[in-house]
Structure 1
C-alpha cells in the first residue's frame, strides 16, 4: 500500500510555492491602491477586499494604540469612550474582515488584496486582538499622536456619510473610491494624528494672544443665557469670524496660496473636506476658538458646537442632495457649499459661510444662479500639485 502511494505521488506534479514571490505580489498590488491617480473601478471582490483591508488595518492600529495609550491616544477622547465598547467593535470588525477576506481567498476573488487583509487580521489577533491589554495611561508632560481619534472618526464618518451618499446622491454615478481619494485620506490621517500638536499650539496662542480681551462681566452674562439661544449665538459668532477669515483666504493673494490646497479637489464627497494645509487649520481654529474663548460660552455649549461643526464640515462637502426648501437660505447645506468649491465663473469667491447661509446673503457674496448645481470643481487653471507633501510645501514655493 505504501509503495503504491509513493508510486502515485511520484506521478503527480505538485507545484512549489515561492512564498517570497507571493508576498511581493501581495505587497505590490496592495500598495498600488495608494499610488493610483484615477478612480478604482469596483470589480468582483474588489470593494469587499478593500473594505476588509481597511477594517483589518484599523483594528491593527487600534491594538497598537491600546499597547501604548500614553503616546497614541487622545486624553480628551479617552475620557469619553468606553474601552469595553471599543473591544466589542474591534471583535466584530475582526470577525467581519477575517471572514470576508478568507471567503474571497477561497473563491479566488482579488486574492492579493484579500491576503493582505487576512494577514492584518492574523497579526492583530496575535497582538491581543479585542482582548488586548491596555498599557499604562499617563498623559502628563507626554507628547502624543491621536491614533484613537483617527480610527474612531474614520470608522464613524465613513459609515455615516457613505450611507448618506448612497441613499441621497448628488452625482449618482460617482464611485466610492473616486479620483484622488488616497490623497485626501492621507490628509485626513495627518490632521487627526497631529491633533495633540495642533491643540497645544491653538491653546497656547489663544491664552496668550486673547487673554487680555477677556471681560468677566461679559462672560457671566453669556453663561447666564439659556442653553439653546446661547448655542445659536455661539454658532453665529463662530460663523461670523469664519466668514471673514474665509473671505480673507480668497481675497488676499498670500493667504490664497494656503487655501487653494482645499479647493484643489475636483471631486466632492465626505472625504474632500479633509484636504487642508496645516497652517490654515491652526490659524482658523485660533481665530474662531479665540473669539469663543473671549465671549466665555458655557462648556456644554462649546461641546455641542464642536459636535455640530464636526458634522457640518464633513456633511457640506459630501456627495449628498436633499430638498431643503426655504432652509437653503438659512443653513449651509451641501448644495450651498458645493458652489463654493466650483470653478464656474459665477461661483468664484462666493458662499463663504460654514453654518448660516444668510450671512452670505447679507454681505452680497451668495451665488446667484439659475442652475441648481455647478458644472465643475477645483482651482481655475488646475495649478495645485497632487500629493500630500507637495501640497503642504506648495505655498512656500517661489512663483516664477
Structure 2
C-alpha cells in the first residue's frame, strides 16, 4: 500500500474516472486534513497560529471536523466494499479511524501558554479545505474549460507546492520581516506613518493595494526581463492547466523576494492593522481566483482590475502574450506602461513555458533555477 501511495503522489497524470481514484483521493484528503485537525486541537500551542486562535469558533470547527470525518470515512468505506482502489481508500480509512481514536471532533482542548514556537498547521488545513470547497464550486458554476477535470494533469505537483509553501509560511514571514526591517527600516518616518494612518479606511485600502501592485508590477516585470530571475519565475509559468491550485506553483526563492519587496513599502508607510488585514484578504482571493478555471471577464472593468481573463493571458504561450499583463490587482497599470496584451481572441489556447523546458515535480522544480543550462 505504501509503495502504491508513493507512486500515486509522485505521478503527474489526470485521474481517470470510474475506478474509485477520484472519490478515494477526496477521502484521503479529508482523512489527512481530519487527522491534522485533531492534532491541532491536541497541541494548539505548537500547531496553531496565535493570530487565528483568537477568532476561532471552536464549536463550528468541531462540526466541520465531524463532517470531514463522516464524508471521508464514508467514501473510503464504500470504495473498500466495492473493491474500488482499495489501497487508496484503505489509507484514507486508516487516517479517519486514527483521527477518531485520538478524539475526533470531541477532542478536548486544554489550557496552554502563549508565546511558544509554532507551525501554522491550522492555516494550512483551513486554507486547503476552504479554497478547495469554494473555488471548485465556483469553477463548476462558471467553467472556462468544461472538460477539464478537478484532478487534471500535474495537480499533484501543484499540491506539493501548496503544502510546502504553506508549511514554511512562518519561516517566510519571519525572513521577510527581518529583511524588511534591516534593509528598509531607515525609510520609515513617523510623520508619513501618522498621515497614512489618519486616512479614511477605503482610501487607505485603495492606496495599499495600489502601492503593493506598483511594486508587484515592476518586480514581476523584472522576473521576465532579467534572465537570472526568470529561472525562478519560470517554475510558476510551467503550469499547463489553469485552475484554483495552479497559482500555488511558485518557487520558494521567488516567494521570499516578492514578499520582501511588496511588504517594504507597506511597512515604511505604516498602514493600520485593519487595512493590512483587508489587503491580505484581497491578495489571497485574487491570487487564487485569477488562476481559476472560470470564464470571467467583467466587461469594461477588466481594463481597471485584474480578472481571470487578464491573468490567463499572462500565462499564455501565444507570441502576442509573452511578457505581458504583469499587474496583480490593477490592470490599468499594464495599459499605462504599455504591457497589456492586445489580441483579437477572447481567451488564450495554450498555457505554460514556451519550449516546455521546466521539469515536472516539486523537487525537480526546486532545483531547476540552479541546474538549468539554458
Corresponding residue SS for 2:259: helix
Matched, 1:287 2:261: yes
Q: Distance in 1 between matches of 2:371 and 2:21?
A: 39
1:71 is displaced (CA, Å) by: 2.7
Map of 2:185 onto structure 1: 211
Moved more, 352-361 or 287-296: 287-296
Q: TM-score under structure 2 normalisation?
A: 0.96
Contact 1:186/1:388 (8 A) holds in 2: yes
Q: Distance in 1 between matches of 2:68 and 2:116?
A: 34
1:49 is displaced (CA, Å) by: 2.2
Contact 1:104/1:114 (8 A) holds in 2: yes
Q: Distance in 1 between matches of 2:317 and 2:226?
A: 18
Q: Distance in 1 between matches of 2:168 and 2:230?
A: 23
Q: Distance in 2 between matches of 1:235 and 1:335?
A: 20
Map of 1:108 onto structure 2: 83
Map of 1:315 onto structure 2: 289
Match of 1:246 among 205, 214, 220: 220
Map of 1:166 onto structure 2: 140
CA offsets per residue over residues 314-345 of structure 1, 9 Å max, x none? 10000001241111111101100001011111
Map of 1:81 onto structure 2: 56
CA offsets per residue over residues 272-326 of structure 1, 9 Å max, x none? 1001111111111111111111111121111000001001001000000124111
Map of 1:133 onto structure 2: 108
Q: Distance in 1 between matches of 2:110 and 2:365?
A: 36
Q: Distance in 2 between matches of 1:350 and 1:149?
A: 33
User: Structure 2 regions of 5+ residues with no counterpart?
Assistant: none
Map of 2:370 onto structure 1: 396
Q: Distance in 2 between matches of 1:388 and 1:109?
A: 29
CA offsets per residue over residues 151-195 of structure 1, 9 Å max, x none? 000000000110111110111110111111001001001011111
Map of 1:306 onto structure 2: 280
Match of 2:27 among 52, 57, 63: 52
Contact 1:69/1:136 (8 A) holds in 2: no
Contact 1:74/1:196 (8 A) holds in 2: no
Matched, 1:96 2:71: yes
Q: Distance in 1 between matches of 2:371 and 2:89?
A: 41
Contact 1:45/1:104 (8 A) holds in 2: yes
Map of 1:267 onto structure 2: 241
1:106 is displaced (CA, Å) by: 2.5
Contact 2:45/2:116 (8 A) holds in 1: no
| RMSD over aligned Cα atoms | 1.6
Q: Could you say if the C-alpha distance between residues 179 and 358 of structure 1 is closer, same or farther in structure 2, counting changes exceeding 3 Å?
A: same
Moved more, 153-162 or 292-301: 292-301
Q: Distance in 1 between matches of 2:6 and 2:372?
A: 33
Match of 1:362 among 327, 336, 343: 336
Q: Distance in 2 between matches of 1:138 and 1:250?
A: 46
Matched, 1:66 2:41: yes
Map of 1:348 onto structure 2: 322
Q: Could you say if the C-alpha distance between residues 125 and 297 of structure 1 is closer, same or farther in structure 2, counting changes exceeding 3 Å?
A: same
1:135 is displaced (CA, Å) by: 5.5
User: Structure 1 regions of 5+ residues with no counterpart?
Assistant: 1-23
Q: TM-score under structure 1 normalisation?
A: 0.90
Match of 2:163 among 189, 204, 227: 189
